[in-house]
Homo-oligomer: A and B are copies of this chain.
Amino acid sequence: MDTRERIVTEARELFLREGLEGFSMRALGERVGVSAPAIYRHFDDKDALLATLIDGSFSTFSSYLVRALSGKTPLERFRRTGEAYFSFALDHPRDYRLMFLTDCQELGFVCISEEIKDRAGGTFVFLVDRAKECMDSGLFQAGDPVPVALNVWSQTHGLASLWLLGNLEGRLDEAGFRAQVSLCLDSIELCLRSREAPLRQ
């Protein structure tokens, strides 16, 4: 493994442990075993390094989403997409935070990067596709799938972020949270199924 790769690996580890606040070039250099300035031979600046990290986070996220495609029906793929979203958030909380819980201002130029925006857009399109195929197969009422997808994203993101930022501390333990996740996914399904009710009557 060459130095550049080791920098990325250790950067991910460091960010995982310390978050954005404790993530410094000095600390990273120490972990990698080189001086801080040496890192600048491999990355233009801190932002470029963070952009690489975010890119990797989206790759991991994508791998979770794609698993949902093994579902046999549109509805099953839709449900599994929701489950995959929570699995990712729980398995990779820091990545989740970097991707969805960090203000663009804080990340500086990173958020403007078109590559990153495209990757984020791609994962959203995945969700829109799941909604759309449920509509096309007549399970959900026909219409614009984008607002539906946004609504689903809001719900999953809301619960995940309340948990990850500690806002549920004292109210839910991890088991309670998992139960709440089930309720969240059930309620999404219930809501979308009820959209088909008028068609059935």
A residues sitting closer than 8 Å to B (CB atoms) are: 19, 21, 97, 100-106, 111, 117, 120-121, 124, 146-147, 150-151, 153-159, 161-162, 165-172, 179-180, 183-184, 187, 190-191, 194
Contacts and interface: CB of A to CB of B under 8 A. Distances in A.
A97 B101 CA distance: 11
* Copies held by the complex: 2
A190 B172 CA distance: 26
Nearest to A165: B103
18 contacts: A19-B103, A21-B105, A97-B103, A100-B162, A101-B161, A101-B165, A102-B165, A103-B165, A104-B169, A151-B180, A153-B162, A155-B158, A157-B158, A157-B161, A158-B161, A161-B161, A190-B191, A191-B194
Given A158-B157, A162-B157, A180-B147, A170 B111 contact: no
Given A101-B165, A158-B159, 18 more contacts: A21-B106, A97-B103, A100-B162, A100-B165, A101-B101, A103-B165, A104-B166, A150-B159, A150-B172, A151-B159, A151-B183, A154-B155, A154-B162, A154-B184, A157-B158, A157-B162, A191-B191, A194-B194
B165 A150 contact: no
A162 B100 CA distance: 8
A111 B166 contact: yes
